[in-house]
């Protein structure tokens, strides 16, 4: 199997290193509400600083229009937070590439850190424009990619520049790729894959790929209703993707042929509407009323799923079991989160909302590994080669 080029193989002393990081943090009126992504990038930055490199960080933030500076998407708050965490001044360039950036980079001394302004201020970033990639490459000697969360995108700062400069995986990138690869290649058994969230269509390839690796597949969230529909049950007003019912049925059968246990809910929490004070009841999946929607797994299902997790050698979890954002429908996701926190098996969690859920239930630090990449971790698990990872292999 191919191996990543890592920071161990690098002597960056005196070199200018362009580091792609994922500083796409959530902001509320300019205040960072969750700094996980900054914290997770620190080991790589510190490692390069200790090597005596001149470190130039580049990241995107949100979705600016791509026609220059917009205050709302400026990396200013990130530069402040980062300066504080590193205990040194991180200077922010006023532009992405150009003379001011060049001046700033040339003024860096060994062990100093600078941050380029939001790379998506330049519309050429998302087009993976060759000239823009060369402009980025021209300010550095070496490229390090630590932005796993953006690695599924073939953009200039994630892919284009990696094909120009000598490229290495940062420590977070390395941990993400090695952890996800190891659960695919050599999971501790039994390997339990828990899949939930809103859409089967989003996750069909992930389920398909995991049927070939896992011992148990556990289905929750809205997607379970497409599977239940495929089995001939009527699911009332629950979210169903009818177009996908036959694919869902094929997958169920494929799992049975391979001897993979495929668990679907036996009971669900139903209500007429998604709201905090909705009237809820628990019904067996055979008895979902026509005018109600299934919005969470029921207590019998919670118990069955928790048992599978507690007996697991390893667990991969993506997608909440219900509308956990609403306390009336959070119980299923909370039960799974607690079982995942308690099991002696290894637990890997991926997916934006899934990570939000384990944070909400305060168990994120009990997981073996929490992926920083939502879309990227899904694409990795479904066996795709990620545009930002491929150039980092030996």
352 touching Mg ion, by CB under 5 A: yes
Print burial letters for 336-359: b (CB count within 10 Å at least 16), e (below 16): bbbbbbebebbbbbbbbbbbbbbe
Applying CB under 5 A, the span of 168-176, 288-296, 331-339, 349-357 interacting with Mg ion comes to 349-357
- Is 352 catalytic? The answer is yes
Class of residue 71 by CB neighbours under 10 A (exposed 0-12, middle 13-18, buried 19+) = exposed
176: enclosing H helix or E strand: helix 171-185
Applying CB under 5 A, the span of 35-43, 253-261, 265-273, 348-356 interacting with Mg ion comes to 348-356
Binding mask 219-238 for ligand ADP (x = CB under 6 A): --xx----------------
Is-contact 32 25, C-beta < 8 A?
yes
Does the N-terminal peptide bond of residue 190 adopt cis geometry, omega within 30 degrees of 0?
yes
43 touching Mg ion, by CB under 5 A: no
Helix (H, G, I), strand (E, B) or coil at 204: helix
- Is 87 catalytic? The answer is no
- Least distance (Å) between residue 98 CB and ligand ADP: 36
DSSP annotation of 6 = B
353 touching Mg ion, by CB under 5 A: yes
CB atoms within 10 A of CB 220: 27
Residue facing ligand ADP at closest CB distance: 197
Q: Which does 320 bind (CB under 5 to 8 A by kind): Mg ion, ligand ADP, none?
A: ligand ADP
Q: Which of 187, 236, 265, 294 binds ligand ADP (CB under 6 A)?
A: 294
Q: Which does 265 bind (CB under 5 to 8 A by kind): ligand ADP, Mg ion, none?
A: none
Indicate the residue among 190 and 375 with the shorter CB distance to Mg ion.
375
Strand order in the sheet with 281-284: 281-284, 267-271, 293-297
Is-contact 63 119, C-beta < 8 A?
no
Distance of CA 152 to the CA centre of its chain: 10
Residue 151 structure tokens: 């690695």
Strands of the chain (E only): list them: 16-20, 27-28, 31-32, 54-58, 91-92, 113-115, 142-145, 167-169, 191-195, 216-219, 261-263, 267-271, 281-284, 293-297, 314-318, 346-349, 369-370
Applying CB under 6 A, the span of 15-23, 37-45, 182-190, 347-355 interacting with ligand ADP comes to 347-355
175 touching Mg ion, by CB under 5 A: no
- Is 199 catalytic? The answer is yes
Q: Which of 36, 181, 198, 382 binds ligand ADP (CB under 6 A)?
A: 198
Q: Which does 22 bind (CB under 5 to 8 A by kind): ligand ADP, Mg ion, none?
A: none
272 touching ligand ADP, by CB under 6 A: no
- Is 37 catalytic? The answer is yes
Applying CB under 6 A, the span of 1-9, 70-78, 99-107, 314-322 interacting with ligand ADP comes to 314-322
Which positions are annotated as active-site residues?
Answer: 37, 199, 352, 375
Name the residues that contact ligand ADP, by CB under 6 A: 197-198, 202, 221-222, 239, 294-295, 318-320, 322-323, 325, 351-354, 374
């Amino acid at each position: 199997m191919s191996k990543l080029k890592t920071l161990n193989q690098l002597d960056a002393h005196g070199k200018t290193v362009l580091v792609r990081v994922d500083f796409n943090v959530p902001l509320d009126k300019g205040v960072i509400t969750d700094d996980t992504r900054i914290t997770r990038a620190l080991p790589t930055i510190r490692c390069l600083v200790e090597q005596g490199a001149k470190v130039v960080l580049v990241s995107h933030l949100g979705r600016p229009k791509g026609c220059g500076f917009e205050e709302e998407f400026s990396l200013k708050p990130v530069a402040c937070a980062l300066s504080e965490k590193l205990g040194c001044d991180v200077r922010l360039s006023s532009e992405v590439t150009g003379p001011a950036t060049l001046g700033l980079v040339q003024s860096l001394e060994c062990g100093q850190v600078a941050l380029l302004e939001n790379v998506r201020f330049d519309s050429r970033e998302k087009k993976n424009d060759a000239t823009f990639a060369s402009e980025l490459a021209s300010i550095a000697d070496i490229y390090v990619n630590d932005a796993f969360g953006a690695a599924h995108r073939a953009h200039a700062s994630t892919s284009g520049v990696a094909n120009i400069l000598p490229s290495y995986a940062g420590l977070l990138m390395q941990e993400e790729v090695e952890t996800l690869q190891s659960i695919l290649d050599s999971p501790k058994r039994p390997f339990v894959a828990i899949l939930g969230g809103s859409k089967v269509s989003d996750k069909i390839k992930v389920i398909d790929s995991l049927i070939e690796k896992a011992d148990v597949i556990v289905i929750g969230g809205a997607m379970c209703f497409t599977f239940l529909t495929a089995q001939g049950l009527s699911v009332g007003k629950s979210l169903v993707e009818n177009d996908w019912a036959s694919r869902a049925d094929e997958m169920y059968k494929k799992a049975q042929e391979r001897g993979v246990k495929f668990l679907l809910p036996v009971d669900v929490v139903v209500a007429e509407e998604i709201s905090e004070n909705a009237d809820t009841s628990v019904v067996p999946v055979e008895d979902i009323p026509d005018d109600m929607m299934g919005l969470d797994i029921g207590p019998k299902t919670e118990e069955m799923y928790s048992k599978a997790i507690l007996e697991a050698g390893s667990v991969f979890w993506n997608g909440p079991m219900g509308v956990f954002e609403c306390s009336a429908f959070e119980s299923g996701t909370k039960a799974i989160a607690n079982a995942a926190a308690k099991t002696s098996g290894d637990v890997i969690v991926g997916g934006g909302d899934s990570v939000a859920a384990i944070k909400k239930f305060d168990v994120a630090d009990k997981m073996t590994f929490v992926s920083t990449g939502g879309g990227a971790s899904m694409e990795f698990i479904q066996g795709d080669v990620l545009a930002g990872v491929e150039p980092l292999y030996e």
